[in-house]
Amino acid sequence: MRYSGLQVLAQGLLGNRGWTPAWRDPDPKPAYDILIIGGGGHGLATAFYLAKEHGLTNIAVLEKGYLGGGNVGRNTTIVRANYGLPGNSEFYSHSLKLWEQLESELNYNVMHSQRGIINLFHSDGQRDAYARRGNAMINQGDDAILLDNAGCRKLLPYLDYDQTRFPIYGGLYHPRGGTARHDAVAWGFARGADTRGVDLIQNCEVTGIDIENGAVTGVQTTRGAIKAKKVGIVVAGRSSQVAAMAGMRLPIESHVLQAFVTEGLKPCLDHVVTYGMGHFYVSQSDKGGLVFGGDLDFYASYAARGNLPMAEHVMEAGLTLMPMIGKAKVLRSWGGIMDMSPDGSPVIDKTHIDGLYLNCGWCYGGFKAVPGSGFSFAHLIATDRPHAPAARYRLDRFLTGRGLMDEEATGSQHNLH
Amino acid sequence: MQIRCPLCGLRDVREFTIKGHAIALSRPAPDAGDEAWNAYLHLRENPAGVTTELWHHTAGCGAWLKVTRNTITHEILKVALVRDGVERTDAD
Ligand SMILES: Cc1cc2nc3c(=O)[nH]c(=O)nc-3n(C[C@H](O)[C@H](O)[C@H](O)COP(=O)(O)OP(=O)(O)OC[C@H]3O[C@@H](n4cnc5c(N)ncnc54)[C@H](O)[C@@H]3O)c2cc1C
Ligand SMILES: [Zn+2]
C-alpha cells in the first residue's frame, strides 16, 4: 500500500479499517541466495539496497528478536556528516545525501529533521580543532559554519555562557545535521525491503555458520538450517559472538552506552547541542522530551543498562551547560550494546571465508550511517568489490597499521573511544 | 557497581579506573611478529559472560587489580592483586 495524504484522508473517512501490515511475517525457506544476519538498521538497509540497487531479491534477513529491537531503536537519533578524516569524511557525506532523499525513496515518514547541530568549544585549542574540522567538512562538499560567542548566543540563548570552568567560546554549526525518528528508519527500510520480495524473519537466532572448503554454505538457526551462497554479518554489539561461529576473532569490544529522556516539554531546544567538555549532548524530540546522553560507561558489557556514576555525570554536565533544564523530570533511561573498534571507525569488508561478509564496529555513531552502510554493504555483497565511499573500512587495517581512522587522535586502542 | 579491593575493602566503582581486558598482562616479545601484536593490541574474545580485566584503584590505594566480572549481569566474581599473579621474567 502506498502512503499519501490522500490515503490518510480516505482511511480516516472509512474508520481506519483499510490499513494493512507494513510487512509480511514469513517462515524461512530452506535456501536463499543471500542471508543477512541482524535485523537492525544496517541489516534492513542492506537488504533494501540489495533489492533496489542490484535487483537481488532472493534474500532473507534473520533477526533473533523483533525488527528494530536493537540499537536502531535505542539511539539518540543524531544524523550528521561532520567527520574530519579521509575515509569517514566521504562515507558520512554519502550517507547524509541518502538521508536527504530517504523519505521519498521509502515512501515513509522517518521524520528526518535537519535542525542543525552545534558542537560547542571552550578554549582556543578546541576552536582551532573545530575550525580545522569545519574546513574538512567544507572540502568534502558539506556545510560548516564557525560561530563565535555572539553567534552562539543568538542561536542558543539559554546556555550558561559565563561559567568559569568551561566558558563557551563558540561552536561549529552544521546546518544539515539533525535527527530522525529511529524506529521509523527501521520500519521504513523493512517495508521497502519486504515490498521488493525480501523475507524478514523474526525470532530467528543464528546459532552457527556453515563453512565447507573455505566457503560459506549457510547458517544454523533456532528455526532450522538455511542454505545460502552469501552471508552478511550485521549484528552490531553481538558481532564478536556471530563472527566466532565462523572461527573469527574480531577487533571489537562491546560496551554499554546510556541515554535518557525527560517528560515532554514545550518546544525549547531548536538544535542538537553537544558539550565537548562535559560529555553531554541533547536534542528535543517531536513529542517534547529532551533526549540526551554522554559517554560510554567504559567497561565491557552486554547488559542493555548502565550504572549510576555515568548517569550522574551526564546530568551534572547537562545542568552545568543549561541550568534551565534542572526542573525537568527524567522519564526513562536505557542502554545499548556498542561494537567498539580500536580506532573508533567501522568495518565493511569481505572475510577470509568466501561468501562471508562483515559489517561492524559502528561504535556509538552508527545510526547516521544506516543508509550509507546499507548501500555500501549491499554493493560489496552484490559485486564483490568495495563501494568507493566505504573502501577504507578494511578489516586488515589493524594488522597492517595502514589506514587507521582515529578521529579523536587518542590512539588505536580499545577503551579510548 | 562496587569492587572489593583486596587492600581497601568494598569500594564504589567511582574510585576505580578501568584499563581493559587482562590480556594487557600478556605482552608479546618485541619480535613476535604482526599477527601476535595485532592479537594482543586489537583482537578480543569479547565474551558475553565471564571476563577478566584490569582495574586501577585510582582514588584509593593505587593498586592494579585483576577483576573477574560477568559482562551480562555486571556481577563481580573475583578480585586479585595483579602483583600476586604476574609471572616476572626479569630479575626483580
Ligand atoms: C544510547 C545510544 C545512543 C546512540 N546515539 C547515536 C546517535 O545519536 N547517532 C548515531 O549515529 N548513532 C548512535 N548510536 C549508535 C547506533 O544506534 C548504532 O551504531 C547502530 O544502531 C548499530 O547498527 P544496527 O542498527 O544495525 O544495530 P542493531 O539495531 O543493534 O541491530 C543488530 C541486530 O542484530 C540482531 N542479532 C544479534 N545477534 C544475532 C543472531 N545471532 N542472530 C540473529 N540476529 C542477531 C540483534 O537482535 C539486533 O536486532 C547510539 C547508540 C546507543 C545505544
Ligand atoms: Zn585499594
All three cell numbers of A316: 551534572
- Band the pLDDT of A179: cuts 50, 70, 90: very high
Residue A381 domain flag: yes
In this predicted structure, what is the pLDDT of residue B54?
Answer: 97
Residue where one domain finishes, among candidates A340, A371, A397: A340
Query: For chain A, what is the mean pLDDT?
Result: 96
In this predicted structure, what is the pLDDT of residue A162?
Answer: 86
Nearest to B18 among A241, A299, A400 (CB): A299
pLDDT tens-place string over residues A265-294: 999 999 999 998 878 999 999 999 999 999
**A268 and A412 housed in the same domain:** no
Distance CA A196, CA A190 (A): 10
pLDDT tens-place string over residues A358-393: 999 999 999 999 999 999 999 999 999 999 999 999
Nearest to A249 among B13, B45, B72 (CB): B45
**A142 and A204 housed in the same domain:** no
Domain total of chain A: 2
**A124 and A46 housed in the same domain:** no
A interface test, pick of B11, B27, B42 with most A CB neighbours within 10 Å: B42
In this predicted structure, what is the pLDDT of residue A104?
Answer: 97
Angle at A203 (CA atoms; ends A200, A204), nearest 5 degrees: 75
State yes or no: pLDDT of B22 exceeds 70. Answer: yes
**A259 and A246 housed in the same domain:** no
Distance CA A31, CA A46 (A): 19
Residue ranges per structural domain of chain B: 2-24+33-88
Q: Which CATH class is domain B2-24+33-88?
A: alpha beta
| Domain that includes residue A283, residue range | 111-179+254-340
Interchain contact, A303 vs B74, CB within 8 Å = yes
**A194 and A321 housed in the same domain:** no
* Cβ-proximal residues to A330 (8 Å cutoff; 6+ apart), any chain: A260, A261, A262, A315
ipTM value: 0.93
pLDDT tens-place string over residues B31-51: 999 999 999 999 999 999 999
**A245 and A122 housed in the same domain:** no
**A47 and A131 housed in the same domain:** no
**A190 and A236 housed in the same domain:** yes
Q: What CATH number is attached to the domain comprising A51? A: 3.50.50.60
Mean pLDDT of A261-268: 97
pLDDT tens-place string over residues A84-131: 999 999 999 999 999 999 999 999 999 999 999 999 999 999 999 999
In this predicted structure, what is the pLDDT of residue B86?
Answer: 56
Q: Which residues of B touch A412 (CB under 8 A)?
A: 41-42
**A156 and A271 housed in the same domain:** yes
Q: Is the CB of A362 under 6 A from ligand 1?
A: yes
